[in-house]
Structure 1
């Protein structure tokens, strides 16, 4: 029944920075990591909060909350001015050379879209179903299906605040040319007072992860494999096994979206706002992956991450300058492989609008594909939530995979209910 609910837009407006200094009111040049994202989708993530108690002097608590969020957004944009701008393409004719460059224009900043919406659903309607109720959750996000190139005409950032019967969902859609996951959550924390697929959240307790890490290291007689590498190896193996049509000689990869900031020498500030991610991968045949233990796969991932050094980052940049390219979504997603994106290190539950800690993190329809796995910190410290996207038959197989389900733990929300 919840899947038939229509989200009703109450109001829509454009929010601009509270003030803009003359020094900031300019164009910003994009780097190769930014430009290479021009054909991918916007980042779409949101937080589900319990409904805040009304203040004693509130005649209409809903209006008070919405006005507070608008004011807060306006103040936050002072520090994230490019988000209120738009993309501009510059063509340079100078025979025999011809080049195109894209920049962020903040001189005539159109602002950020802000949408206030209402939906007659409950927190339980969103969190209780075994599978993510896509029609409901995706309706919480603005700019659905937008690709980053649309930032020439669409806002680079849109915020939708959806009031549900017992909570509030705050969703942001951010043009991926402007920033990556680190940038996205830096902004979100600063902003304070495909239908055939099935998405499902799996929860892993700190104890379960510790046991998995110890097992992976023990099998390889090492202590260097990290918790995330061990967990990713488990996902890689079990998702591959759930794809029962894959022959043993088929090559499969597990790719990480990796943050380059700390890998430069000297390291780049963690507060750098923009795209600075790449992927590293480990590859094996299906037969090799499934005939070895989890430690073997985890060690492959560890070596791939460990090999991503300053020289590799700079080498990618030099190669891109010699032969520029733009990521094409169809070439990024391999239905025989797994891509681990986002990070349990992002400070998602540090966002506090004055109503207490968020109940959960959910994402929009953007960048969903067969084998896409988003890692989130669990609501309880030390735990991890994985959002897995698979076709129905593969998801069913994963849910019955003994190796995988032995590590999965009951979620915080299910324990509450």
Structure 2
């Protein structure tokens, strides 16, 4: 028998995988964790896929260094701290489950925290370098293979782990990628877990091997509207495919643009000056620039209606408010719309003022109305229907602590994401690595549209070229 063919170039090699469970579970974990409307609405969208690229210490690159032993020790520390983190975030070690009965008709989806093999942990390798990942203008497609659960939707969490960690070893660096079921939590929840895992890893490095008391423990109790304490019955009593949809992205370019703190301060000053106000925020000003410039690159007719959606965190908007550490979904895709001619003719301040008004009007009353309406008429988000090609969608947030996550390798070099939620007009906002109010925007557009955006003088004047 001939030897197996070598793997193709730029192909991630799976080395090992296993499942990680918390060291123990609280007594109430054997009860179903019922999901409220904001969670259930996510059943047909992708997992959240975000990760960090860390440099290997210089001595690891020396010819005589025992790199396999170093990597083995590093992975064992990651597994031990991950297990401890799952003690605090035990639903992530569970699986989705469905309870269905016919008389009376009842169908609900919940998290089974007791009967599960745990979260998945993968060790992989790739013969590439930091320069191969970060130097190209566009994000290389191989980055998508740094994440598990590629192209799956949250409903698949019935059979797949709700959290998967993939550690990809590169020639001079390590990428730690997390895939988390979006029905369990939003971006705030995702980064709370990532931050907590990092906090536990660092505590264990200092010799604290018992249960680490987190500085920001998660609030796992789900929020339900009054008079709807759960479980919520869904009208889907037959084949789940009747309410689910799979989404395949078109051909896209994905590029990360950097905006310095000074550039964003200038945009904010310009927007407020044009409107004669001081209440427009930095992020609203930056989003207004994006909306205008991407719309111009698309060459829509002046009468076409275009939209801008922003992922709004609802925790502080509810009355009474939810804890900032609420672990679950509490976001709304807040939409603003205008005709193309108005958007491009009105100036940066005009667009920013529209966005500001939408955010200011996002109230407790509207949130409760949305929940009440959803319970009467449940429906899940379908990416091809919720997000259209005439709009942009700005997700994630530069406020999340992303570069504060350290696992004994120092500060991360960059943040990258997987295939999930990539479509024409999707923008993800991250803090710039240098901090101070700088922002990185990960933008996904068809090749022709991206080329026109790169030639847009208004847009590129604000971009900081490193």
Fold match (TM-score > 0.5):
yes
Within the candidate set 292, 295, 315, 2:346 is matched to: 292
Q: Could you tell me how far apart the structure 2 residues matched to 1:53 and 1:204 are?
A: 30
The equivalences for 1:89-108 within 5 A come to: 89-95=98-104, 98-108=105-115
Partner of 2:326: 272
Q: Does 1:202 align with 2:279?
A: no
Aligned to 2:56: 51
Deviation at 1:109, TM superposition (A): 2.2
Residue range with higher mean Cα deviation, 352-361 or 197-206:
352-361
Distance in 1, matches of 2:318 and 2:113, equals 29
Cα displacement (A) at 1:326 = 1.1
Task: State the secondary structure of the residue aligned to 2:115.
Answer: coil
The equivalent of 2:231 in structure 1 is none
Q: Distance in 1 between matches of 2:170 and 2:124?
A: 9
Q: Which residue of 1 aligns with 2:365?
A: 311
Report the Cα distance in structure 2 between the residues aligned to 1:59 and 1:127, rounded to whole angstroms.
25
Deviation per residue, 1:303-325 (Å, 9 max, x gap): 00000011111111111112111
When the two structures are superposed, what TM-score results if normalisation uses the length of structure 2? 0.85
**Matches of residues 365-380 of structure 1 in structure 2 within 5 Å?**
365-380=419-434
Give 1:52 shift: 3.4
CA distance in 2, matches of 1:356, 1:48: 11
The one-character-per-residue Cα deviations of 1:116-166 (angstroms, maximum 9, x if unpaired) are: 0110000011111001101x1011111101101100111111110001011
Specify the alignment match of 2:382 in structure 1. 328
2:292 pairs with 1:237:
yes
In 2, distance between residues paired with 1:7 and 1:18? 31
Q: Counterpart of 1:414?
A: none
Which residues in structure 2 correspond to 1:249-268 (within 5 Å)? 249-268=303-322
Instruction: Give the drift of 1:58.
Output: 8.2
In 1, Cα distance between equivalents of 2:81 and 2:127: 26
Could you tell me which of 272, 275, 296 is aligned with 1:217? 272
Superposed displacement of residue 94, structure 1 = 2.4
SS in 2 for 1:263: coil
Structure 1 residue 407 and structure 2 residue 462: aligned? yes
Aligned residues: 405
Q: Which 4+ runs in 1 deviate beyond 3 A? A: 52-59
Uncovered stretches (5+) of structure 2, i.e. residues with no partner: 1-7, 202-248
Q: Which residue among 120, 126, 129 is the counterpart of 1:119?
A: 126
Tell me, yes or no, if structure 1 residue 5 matches structure 2 residue 5: no
Residue of structure 2 equivalent to 1:415: none
1:274 to partner: Cα distance: 0.5
The TM-score with structure 1 as length reference comes to: 0.95
2:18 counterpart SS class: strand
For 1:69 and 1:409, the matched residues in 2 are separated by: 35
1:42 to 42, 47, 52: 47
Distance in 1, Cα, partners of 2:343 & 2:430: 25
- What does residue 388 of structure 1 align with? 443
Match of 2:72 in 1: 63
Report the alpha carbon displacement of residue 49 of structure 1 after superposing the two structures with TM: 0.6
Q: What secondary structure sits across from 1:120 in the alignment?
A: coil
* Cα shift at 1:171: 0.3
Which residues of structure 1 form unaligned runs of 5+? 412-417
Whole-angstrom distance in 2 between the partners of 1:331 and 1:110: 35
The secondary structure found in structure 2 opposite 1:324 is coil
Match of 2:23 among 11, 18, 21: 18
RMSD of aligned residue pairs (Cα, Å)? 1.5
Please point out which of 185, 209, 229 is paired with 1:179.
Answer: 185
- Distance in 2 (CA, whole Å) between partners of 1:27 and 1:9 is 34
Q: Is the 8 A contact 1:199 1:388 kept in 2?
A: yes
Q: What SS is found at the alignment partner of 1:239?
A: helix
Contact 1:58 1:64 in 2 (8 A): no
8 A Cα contact 2:250 2:424, kept in partner: no
